[in-house]
Structure 1
Amino acid sequence: MIKYDLHSHTTFSDGRLSVAELLERATEKGVDVLAITDHDTTAAIIPAKTYIDENSLNLKLISGVEISTKWHSFEIHIVGLAVNIEHPQLVALLQQQQAKRQARAEEIGKRLTKNGYEGVYERAKELAGKAQITRAHFAAALVEQGVAKNIQGVFKKFLARNKIGYVPSQWCDMATAIEAIKAAGGVSIVAHPARYQMSNKWLRKLLDEFSQAGGQAMEVAQPQQAPSERQFLGQLSQEYNLFASQGSDFHYPMPWLDLGKNLYLPKDCQGVWQFWQANEEC
C-alpha cells in the first residue's frame, strides 16, 4: 500500500527541518509520496526535487503550497497540490501574500516593543533565516525570553485575538486562492477542517461555499485524531463530493505526530491522489 503524506513544512516557512532533513526523514518513515506545502511559498520545491534526484531517494514529490485565506471571521488555510509553481497567477498571489505577511510581522514587532518586549522582531527574523517571518517565529523568540514555557503559551498570552501582539490578518479570500491553484493546474484542499473551532453548521457552510467556489478536496486524515472525527470528516467529503486528503501537517518531530504516522482514509473516500493520477494518464 502506498503511504501518502500530503501536508508538510520546511524551514522555508515555519517548519524546523531543512529540505534535506525533511526528505530524509520522510524516506526513513516509509513515506512513498510527500507533498511540501509551505505557507504562501513554493521556494522549497526546486531544492527538494534536486535533492531527491541527486541522492536517488525512493520518494515521489508533489509540488504544493498552503495559502492563508480570510473567510468571514475565520482564517482558513487552502492547500494546493500538484501545482505548476511557475504559473504567473499563482506566483503573483504568493508575492502578494508574502508582502502581507511581512507587513504583519513588522506590526507585531512594533506592538510587542511598545509593550516592553524589545528585540523580539529582530530575533524572530534571525530564527526565520531566509524564510518569511511567521507568528511561530515570534513565539519561539518570546519563549527564549522566558515569558512563557512553550509556544502554545505564547500564543495564548500574546498572539491570540485581543492580546498585545495580535494583528488581524489581511489574507486573500478563499475564491482567489482556489482560482490561482486551479490556474496552476492543481487541486485545492481545505486544510485541517476540524481545527477552526467552528460549529458543525459553520463547517458545513464552509465546505458548501468552498465547493461552490471550485474547491475540490478536504483533509480528512491526520495523525493525532479521534476515529470518530476522521469518520465524520470522511462522511462530509462524500456529502460535498470532495476528494479526501491526508497529511501530518508536519513541522517537527513529536511523539504523537510524525511524517506518515497514522494516515489512512475511511472506507469509500476518494483519495485526492486520483486527481493527479488521472492527469498523468492523459
Structure 2
Amino acid sequence: MNCIDLHIHTTASDGTDSPRAAVEKAASLGLAAVSITDHDSVSGVPEAMRAGAELGVEVVPGIEVSSDYRDNNVHILGYFIDPAAPELRPVLDWVKTERDERNEKIAAMFERDGFDISLAQLREEYPDSVLGRPHFCEHLMRKGYISSVKEGFEKYLGEGKPYYLPKRRISIAKAVETIVAAGGVPVLAHPMQYHYPEPELIELIETAKALGIRALEAYYSEFSAEQTAWLLRAAEKYGMGVSGGSDYHGTRKTHISMGTGCGNLAIPYSVLEELKKLR
C-alpha cells in the first residue's frame, strides 16, 4: 500500500528537519506523498517541492494556521495552497509581527529575572526557524536551567506559568478565507486534541463546516482507533472529507515518527485522492 503523511513540520516553524531533510526522510521510508504544514508559514514549501520532484515524492504544499475559537487555539490545515499567493501575505505578516512582539516580551521577562537568554541568542541559534516557546525551552536546557523541553513548559512557559504570554490569533473564518483565497482546501486539524466533551466537539465541527472547512483530520498519531472511527462517522454525517498525518516534528517530538506516528498510522494514498476532489 502506498502510504502518505499530510502533517509534517520543518525548521520553517517548530520542526527540527529542514524541508529537504523531511522529504529525504519520506523518500527513505517509501512514502508516496507528504505535506509540509508548518505553523503560519509557507517558507519551507518551495524547498520541499524541489526535493520532492528530485526524489520522486509527491509534496502537497500546505500550512497549519492557528485560529481562535472561543478563546482556544484551534488549528486549520490548508492543502494545495499556492505559497506565492498574495492573499497569504497580509495574514502571515500579521501573525509574524504578533509572534515577534510576544517573543521579545518573553525574552525581556527572562532577562529581567537574571536568565542568560536573549532574542539575539535565539535568532543566532535558530536562523531559519520561526521562533516559539520550544526554542526558548531548548536554549534554557543548554544553559542548564532545565533538563527537558517538557520541564520548561511545566515550570516556565506553559499556560498559566510565570513566563507564558497569550497570543492573539485570527478567527477560524479568516483562516478559512485566507486558505481558500490561496487556492487551498481547509481542514480541521486533530479535532480530538482540543479535549472537548462530545457535545462541544460536535458544535465545533458544525461551526467549522458552516465556515467552509471541507474535511476533518481523522487519522492522527495520538488518536485511538475509536476516536478515528468517530471522526470518520462525523465526516460522513456532515458531508466532509478526511485527511491524516503524523504531526511529525523531528527530534522535538521523539515519540512521533514520520508516516507511522506512534506506530498506529498507515494512511493510504486514497485519502489524498479524495482530498484532491475537494479543490
| TM-score w.r.t. length of structure 1 | 0.90
| Structure 1 Cα separation of the partners of residues 126 and 206 of structure 2 | 36
Q: What is the aligned counterpart of 2:205 among 204, 207, 210?
A: 207
Partner of 1:219, secondary structure, is strand
Q: What is the aligned counterpart of 1:124 among 119, 122, 142?
A: 122
Q: CA deviation at 1:241?
A: 2.3
Q: CA deviation at 1:265?
A: 6.1
Contact 2:217 2:244 in 1 (8 A): yes
Residue 14 of structure 1 corresponds to: 14
Q: What is the aligned counterpart of 2:103 among 87, 105, 117?
A: 105
Residue 57 of structure 2 corresponds to: 59
Contact 2:11 2:130 in 1 (8 A): no
Give the aligned residue type for 2:28. E
Q: What is the aligned counterpart of 2:162 among 154, 161, 164?
A: 164
| Structure 2 Cα separation of the partners of residues 258 and 149 of structure 1 | 23
| Structure 2 Cα separation of the partners of residues 10 and 120 of structure 1 | 23
Q: What is the aligned counterpart of 1:92 among 90, 113, 116?
A: 90
Q: CA deviation at 1:69?
A: 0.9
Contact 1:218 1:242 in 2 (8 A): yes
The one-character-per-residue Cα deviations of 1:98-133 (angstroms, maximum 9, x if unpaired) are 111111111111222223323153333233212221
Summarize the alignment of residues 134-213 of structure 1 with structure 2, pairs less than 5 Å apart. Answer: 134-213=132-211
The one-character-per-residue Cα deviations of 1:177-233 (angstroms, maximum 9, x if unpaired) are 100111111111111222223222222221111111111111111234322222222
Contact 1:97 1:171 in 2 (8 A): yes
116-125 or 92-101: bigger deviation:
116-125
Give the aligned residue type for 1:87. A
Residue 36 of structure 2 corresponds to: 36
Q: CA deviation at 1:146?
A: 2.6
Q: Which aligned runs of 4 or more in structure 1 are off by greater than 6 angstroms?
A: none
Q: Is 2:258 the counterpart of 1:259?
A: yes
Contact 2:14 2:134 in 1 (8 A): yes
Q: What is the aligned counterpart of 2:248 among 250, 255, 259?
A: 250
Unaligned residue ranges in structure 2 (runs of 5+): none
Partner of 2:50, secondary structure, is helix
| Structure 2 Cα separation of the partners of residues 44 and 2 of structure 1 | 24
Contact 2:248 2:258 in 1 (8 A): yes
Change (3 A) 1:273 1:126: farther
Give the aligned residue type for 1:200. E
Aligned length, in residue pairs: 274
| Structure 2 Cα separation of the partners of residues 182 and 38 of structure 1 | 17
Contact 1:5 1:260 in 2 (8 A): yes
| Structure 2 Cα separation of the partners of residues 67 and 100 of structure 1 | 14
| Structure 2 Cα separation of the partners of residues 145 and 199 of structure 1 | 40
Change (3 A) 1:273 1:110: farther
Partner of 2:35, secondary structure, is strand
Partner of 2:275, secondary structure, is helix
| Structure 2 Cα separation of the partners of residues 238 and 147 of structure 1 | 49
Q: CA deviation at 1:255?
A: 6.1
| TM-score w.r.t. length of structure 2 | 0.91
Partner of 2:59, secondary structure, is strand
Identical residues among aligned pairs (%): 28
Partner of 1:88, secondary structure, is coil
Give the aligned residue type for 1:188. P
